[in-house]
Copies of this chain bind each other. A is one copy, B any other.
């Protein structure tokens, strides 16, 4: 457990990340709000999943997830398939058009990062990525203490979705 003053400073810097978030959100095209990006990114990375699983990954209420999902589904970027094992459930799957859109968005945001982080080394980027991953994991652990398996705090590799 770290000292109070350290947490206070961390809080301040977490607020400052809002600056980064807003900057990256501003370069998104009008038809792709950030909620849609989150959905596409998670489906691409983790593969097909149900609404409830997506809501868990997004850490928002399922009603919010439903809205985001409807937006991307309306544009043909994902499909909502029937789940043969549970007729209440719907399996979400990225469509080819969705993958294409995601590639385009990914390029756009990557370009922005290249521009902004011009003086960062590979190791700098890796280190920050690793710590952010661990940060998120620490919050996940507290939120959902159910599956007690060993956690890999996914840094770079994690070969998830084979369909992309």
Contacts and interface: CB of A to CB of B under 8 A. Distances in A.
Interface of A: 1-24, 37-38, 41, 45, 58-60, 106, 109-110, 113-129, 131-136, 138-140, 142-143, 154-156, 162-164
A22 B59 contact: yes
The A contact surface, by secondary structure, is helix
Given A128-B135, A138-B116, A122 B2 contact: yes
Q: Considering the complex of A and B, which 5 residue pairs feature the smallest CB-CB distances, nearest first?
A: A13-B132, A16-B136, A19-B59, A2-B122, A2-B125
Contacts of A1: 114, 117-118, 120
Nearest to A4: B110
21 contacts: A6-B122, A6-B125, A6-B129, A7-B114, A8-B110, A9-B156, A10-B125, A10-B129, A11-B110, A16-B133, A17-B135, A18-B38, A18-B59, A19-B58, A19-B59, A19-B136, A20-B135, A20-B139, A23-B59, A124-B134, A128-B131
